[in-house]
Amino acid sequence: MRLITHNMLKCHVKNCKEPDKQFPLQFKDVKLEQIEAERNDEFLVRMLPRLDWPALLKSTKELGIIIPEKVPANPADDDEFLQALHTAILEMHVKEGSMVCNGCGHEYKITKGIPNMLLAEHEI
């Protein structure tokens, strides 16, 4: 699972104790793998408004991935920023582990890079 995907996932447990803490999901016992991908600056710049930067920053810190604290004023012209963003959201893959909701503690397993976001019937 790429971090770009993680940045769009939240807990959907119906009776989550603290709904304001459903996002971002916290990583637990993860295995990371970096898989090279072709860099597309136009895609990166177009994705920036869709990313929750504070959540991405929090998640990358959890995983030991370094990205800038803030988005630069003109990211399209900042090669260093674009490379860091590309590496973080498109090349770093969570292969195994889980994501945990900070609101209710529900755990979503990640197996072979695929997050299982299905809920039991009593959680829907």
User: Would you state the pLDDT for residue 14?
Assistant: 86
Tell how far CA 66 is from the center of its chain.
13
- pTM, two decimals, is 0.91
Confidence of residue 120 (pLDDT cuts 50, 70, 90): confident
User: Would you state the pLDDT for residue 56?
Assistant: 97
* Distances, alpha carbon 76 to alpha carbons 16, 50, 52, in Å: 39, 15, 18
Are the C-beta atoms of residues 49 and 71 closer than 8 Å to each other? Answer: no
pLDDT digits (tens, 9 = 90+) for 49-102: 999 999 999 999 999 999 999 999 999 999 999 999 999 999 999 999 999 999
- Separation CA 74–CA 96 (nearest Å): 35
Which among 44, 88, 36 has a CA at the least distance from the CA of 63?
88
User: Would you state the pLDDT for residue 121?
Assistant: 76
Which among 101, 95, 88 has a CA at the least distance from the CA of 61?
88
- Separation CA 89–CA 105 (nearest Å): 25
Are the C-beta atoms of residues 95 and 32 closer than 8 Å to each other? Answer: yes
- Separation CA 23–CA 5 (nearest Å): 13
